[in-house]
Structure 1
């Protein structure tokens, strides 16, 4: 009792009492750095020492209503308070264990309602600040700050770390005391454009793709700089590493095994995600081990002799036996034990056993049928290229003077015999002819690929007929080579038509393989890497540089950028670099990224909208009576049917959300941050295409809504459709080979005789070799897995992502629509009339199943679920 009286009279700890003051309780949730988090094993100990010397973690509230005239009218600062009991909060070895701290702020009328706070970390090590919640704020029940950011020691910054309340303000609506804090935060995130960036730097900036080659290793490791006039490309995040000593235009590379590539720290994987990803990183080390492993296994492990040998790779198969003890010892000399252990798996007896891919789970041979070959163009891993044939024969858009005549040599005589009595004229008129055309994309590089790499392949065109039951029937495959002797004469082409038996049937199977090889490379380089990963990264950078966390469009788009910069940085380090896994396993080899630059020249942002894409490919026609104003010409087109429902749900959500904050076109035009964002995105992020007329002008609400819908679609559903089916379909490489090693054999050659006598062996000797197969499916197994901490479309990482009630209600409606879509997808997959939903291999199309109702987050090779971002 005496202690209470003295405290009232004299104040706690001798301070002057604040009779009219009020206490605001705060709760911080964070992850402390622990000894498992890095090589800094002293982190926890040193933080405790800093606490003992009074160097703790401090916070100051910033008023949203009262400015300080002596501090540039910035919000008045509250009294500094420190976190207590840091030492008593034991650091767990678990990467994701949260620690909660309570803190008490003093409040009076001179502070008013807090709109932000400053946090200073005086410890030795960083921590991850998740949320701060203030209770009993006068006039408010609770105030939430969703932080989700790493806070490094204060000496690492030249400015204060400021976090804003989870309210939403357009720039001109921002409370005056918070405006300078808002503007200064964006300036800090832009950096000064110079210097090598460190892990604690919070800088978003642009750079060319000038870090793929290693010219110091010789000519074979040189790669052109992508981005600029000669090789246009989207920009990537700047790291500021020093120039390469041999080529100053190129950036020096980190050692191959170093995955600590700079991206702003908050863009890196969580510890859970990184743990899930580590197997991918370990397998990727295989690229430096290629010579060593080849030298050990060439004599006995270079080829698959039968399809049964391929099946032995998978669970339930007998496995590939390990080499003898001497070879195993040699292997351990050149392979890190962690990687060797991953390759050996848990039983220690089989080499590289994989889960059984969906495409062969029920039937080991159905993938070879013409029906399945065609179906996968509509519901496989790359269902975004097939288009309607509007003129016959197919024509080329390649420059006639440069490439000669590249038009197709397919004739009516080739195909009309298989067209169910239709003529070509009738089929075109009735919208029944379709084509999978890889000719123009590949032909400009085909001569160099076939001369300078181990690949021997063709540029392909595949013609198909839409049948009355909704399935597609292959009619012909054209295989074309450049005319090395006389380019002016154009392509040298051969046309093959379906056959089931004898040598003709064997050659037809090879022709389908060449078409699949073309499609595999185009899928990986263009449909997947370029059209999702690469084109979205400039949006990530521009959003963080130009849109404040208080901005409504930041709150709308930011969840769809999670982990994208880091997965792209890892790709530059171990996948798309010179000699990387992609070059090793996909047919364009060293020309892979250059070829993607050639195709980026024709990239069009507005055509990434699903309806626009379907119109462009001629697989849909305008129909105002339909939900999206179109009618599909292939009614049973699973990717398009499911995709249009997802597209509509996203579009409705974006329109409802944007309408809350933008009541007129004038507000769009007057939004300074939004206009700076869009200008920088076009002129810097996609600067090589800045003068294209198709960019939205960002002058109307429609411009804004269209842009945001496209960005979210690409970062979520489009990426899911072209990524998570990789292992289910391509995990069995004969179904989706990535390389061909020889051309169609000529009569009278030993290869032709082998094709007659043992067509399966000839097929396997033509497609991807054994080592490349092992490396390739190791990669796509990891790429196809959902992380255990995945956040799916229709979910948010925090229920307090905004304090605005109306957007929350709109988001709940969006989530509900996705649940309804899931139910309709399930019903469609059960409808036996829809033959393209499942097909001969009995694999249901679930790649656009949102998975909003599955909160177990078990991860793995589920083959369904639309993550919120491009995060793998």
Structure 2
């Protein structure tokens, strides 16, 4: 007889008292042990506890699988417990790691593979081949696709409840709910929540929240009208994704030299500045003709604005011309900074209204949340636990399915917070349809995106600088990791699970649109490295860039209004402060947008930051060293950002690695 020592590590919180009995079976190349009860006096599978159990059996040869199960004890209520991992010490004194990270329920039998990552071609033993096949078949049944709306990425569909390990922890769920309820309670006490009255003036909108603020939010409340800070936000605010260099003025934006000459430096011209690469454009043409929310029988305004910006020799970016529509006319004039002060303030607000819609619906919801959901469902459907890409990607997709399910209700439901934005639900969906049809693979890859927008050389672009450092670090990490399992291109083309994964993403996420240049299959290792880099960057860094600053830049609603009530000005010189207050959202809708900014920027106590892999899914020493190297590089990036920010009047912290979560989880 031989003695195997089974070390069981539990984690998480119990969902009920431990009243059932747990059993383990060891399966090796020479047979399997008897079903052995994990019976240790006084042990009740408490959270964060490790206990050791002996399993006496004939020598099993090479250990292949571990079976875990829970059986009913008497007629007591069912219990669940979370198994983090199991380490088996063999008679030869070898310690073998078996990752689990699952909740076990009564009647369920879990079969666990060892921590060594394997592709299907690496499995030779019939038991492992069959185990892999059954696991993938079961997952494709559990994780199914569902059409959310025509022309949009498919979403997850579960015939039964989402698996417990993919749901929020109890603490995260409570914090999420509590942060919202605390804000609502204060707003109700002040008589603001649900009010349909208009604000009296801009001053009355201040101090809406007594106990919630931030240094940047306070700075913004004082400087939001300044043209320099207005331009700065297109680079380093919560939405750095719209601005691009303007090598030629659009034919439908007839800005003349005479219009903008007073706002350029002496001795230069608009054409010269265009040739120097100092003229930039934000064009919101995709909003044109979009159906909008109907309030009191009237459709809310939404302008397909154009905003021209100039970068001076001091590195300051300022708006110099705005047209609130795609077709110039007497009723759609071009506004410039020398126009009446309130005219210029209001037209800038209309541009930011357009920008806010694009930020929330496209850059945030569609291009991080919904794409992350596609990546997550495809990963769960096609990779078994032992596949290297499952191990690599799971930490970056952990909460995606639950947060997206909640987001569709909280944000896009009939009474959702984004349903009160100018487009409303129907307009939001139509906007996403338009953009998904035009989304390209290169637009999701930051180095390509920056080059395509002509933003390689614009100074003081901290989103670009920090983002490219992170992209490079992630890319190096992914290349090193995948190099362990895909030493040649033949390994890529021969991995059927990998090919089914990318095909599913192409057809369900990008709807088979070949013009997107999204890969339909992989031929080379380099192709896989780039795509996986994009997935990790999108679900971590890019989401942080467009989410974490929401309270800083959106809690003062006039700066980034998601809704405006009156049509844009068509004649210069007629705007009054009363016009502006009638155009801004009413009190109730304003505080709803403030609630949105509070909830979406919340960082929870159980957050897992980029580069952290606490679940220890990789057992190979080489993989562990690569993770350590990645963490060291992230620490170096962190130090450089902190040093840079110390000299900035407005620091840019959203791509600081310690502030980036590993996955889309809020």
TM-score by length of 2: 0.92
The correspondence for 1:684, drawn from 470, 493, 508, is: 508
Aligned to 2:546: 722
CA distance in 2, matches of 1:173, 1:747: 71
Contact 2:8–2:83 under 8 Å retained in 1: no
- Correspondence list, 1:643-792, <5 A: 643-689=467-513, 692-695=516-519, 697-744=521-568, 752=574, 755-756=575-576, 759=577, 761-792=578-609
The reply to whether residue 816 of structure 1 matches residue 632 of structure 2 is yes
Deviates more, 1:410-419 or 1:598-607: 410-419
CA distance in 2, matches of 1:446, 1:82: 63
Q: Deviation per CA, 1:751-771, whole angstroms, max 9, x where unpaired?
A: x4xx44xx2x54233122211
Which runs of no fewer than 5 residues in structure 1 stay unpaired? 1-19, 35-42, 67-75, 92-96, 192-202, 210-225, 242-261, 316-353, 396-406, 483-488, 620-631, 832-837, 852-864
Aligned to 1:272: 171
Q: Deviation per CA, 1:68-89, whole angstroms, max 9, x where unpaired?
A: xxxxxxxx33211112258763
The correspondence for 2:283, drawn from 434, 437, 447, is: 437
1:235 deviates by 0.9
Aligned to 1:375: 232
Deviates more, 1:518-527 or 1:176-185: 176-185
CA distance in 1, matches of 2:652, 2:516: 36
Aligned to 2:373: 537
CA distance in 2, matches of 1:682, 1:90: 43
1:308 deviates by 2.7
Q: Deviation per CA, 1:120-140, whole angstroms, max 9, x where unpaired?
A: 122443524232333431345
CA distance in 2, matches of 1:297, 1:547: 50
Which runs of no fewer than 5 residues in structure 2 stay unpaired? none
1:113 deviates by 3.1
Contact 2:83–2:104 under 8 Å retained in 1: no
Aligned to 1:569: 405
1:25 deviates by 3.5
CA distance in 2, matches of 1:658, 1:679: 19
1:736 deviates by 1.3
Contact 1:697–1:703 under 8 Å retained in 2: no
Cα distance 1:745–1:185, how it changes in 2: closer, same or farther (>3 A)? Answer: closer
Q: Deviation per CA, 1:356-397, whole angstroms, max 9, x where unpaired?
A: 2433424742121000000000100001110001112x24xx
Please give the secondary structure, in 2, of the residue aligned with 1:234.
coil
The correspondence for 2:138, drawn from 185, 188, 191, is: 188
Deviates more, 1:768-777 or 1:489-498: 489-498
Contact 1:724–1:784 under 8 Å retained in 2: yes
1:668 deviates by 0.6
Aligned to 2:263: 418
- Correspondence list, 1:77-476, <5 A: 77-85=32-40, 89=44, 97-109=47-59, 111-123=60-72, 124-154=77-107, 160-176=109-125, 177-191=127-141, 203-209=142-148, 226-227=149-150, 232-240=151-159, 262-279=161-178, 282=181, 297-298=195-196, 302-315=197-210, 354-362=211-219, 364-392=221-249, 394-395=250-251, 407-420=252-265, 421-438=267-284, 440-445=285-290, 454-476=299-321
1:106 deviates by 1.9
Contact 2:83–2:100 under 8 Å retained in 1: yes
1:481 deviates by 7.0
The correspondence for 1:498, drawn from 324, 329, 337, is: 337
Q: Deviation per CA, 1:529-561, whole angstroms, max 9, x where unpaired?
A: 000000121111111111111111111111100
Aligned to 1:254: none
Structure possessing the higher relative contact order (Cα contacts under 8 Å, 6 or more residues apart): 2
The reply to whether residue 512 of structure 1 matches residue 348 of structure 2 is yes
CA distance in 1, matches of 2:461, 2:194: 47
1:234 deviates by 1.0
1:147 deviates by 1.3
Cα distance 1:115–1:452, how it changes in 2: closer, same or farther (>3 A)? Answer: farther
1:584 deviates by 1.3
Contact 2:418–2:424 under 8 Å retained in 1: no
Q: Deviation per CA, 1:22-80, whole angstroms, max 9, x where unpaired?
A: 2424223144634xxxxxxxx43xx53xx5xxxx21111122x34xxxxxxxxx33211
Aligned to 2:652: 845
When the two structures are aligned, how many residues end up with a matched partner?
657
The reply to whether residue 806 of structure 1 matches residue 622 of structure 2 is yes
Contact 2:10–2:49 under 8 Å retained in 1: yes
1:688 deviates by 4.4
Cα distance 1:449–1:695, how it changes in 2: closer, same or farther (>3 A)? Answer: farther
Structure of higher CA gyration radius: 1
Aligned to 1:194: none
Contact 1:162–1:185 under 8 Å retained in 2: no
Please give the secondary structure, in 2, of the residue aligned with 1:133.
strand
The reply to whether residue 57 of structure 1 matches residue 10 of structure 2 is no
Please give the secondary structure, in 1, of the residue aligned with 2:442.
helix
CA distance in 2, matches of 1:692, 1:140: 53
Contact 1:445–1:595 under 8 Å retained in 2: yes
